[in-house]
Amino acid sequence: MAKSLTQSQIIAKLADNVQLTKKQVKSFLDSLASLAYNEAKNGFTIPGLGKLVLVQRKARMGRNPATGEQIKIPAKKVVKFRVSKAAKDAIVGGAKPAPAKTAKKKK
């Protein structure tokens, strides 16, 4: 299985693709991350990739795996990333083809 790219590898590839210095690309990525952190509560969309959203989870009953005892898990806010359809299709592949319809012959 291939390893994921490191931050420095990502910066190097982007710098090469857009003909900017590594320092400029790193500064841009840092600015993008900072903006995303500040705006995630309102929903932050990265076109072509997806959207960061803040979601309120409801309180629920859970189970302590060590003892089996039921516990109450309190409500809390969590950050989720919703992958865009374009990104999903590009990574996983397009929609599965519909099954072929058979034509009925008329008598």
Say if CB 52 and CB 40 are below 8 A apart: yes
CA separation, residue 51 to residues 43, 82, 92, 107 (Å)? 7, 5, 18, 55
41: which 2 tokens?
């509560």
**Residue 11 burial by CB count (10 A; 0-12/13-18/19+): exposed, middle or buried?**
buried
Question: In tens digits, what is the pLDDT along the chain, a chain of 107 residues?
Answer: 778 999 999 999 999 999 999 999 999 999 999 999 999 889 999 999 999 999 999 999 999 999 999 999 999 999 999 999 999 999 998 655 455 555 555 55
pTM of the complete model beyond 0.85: no
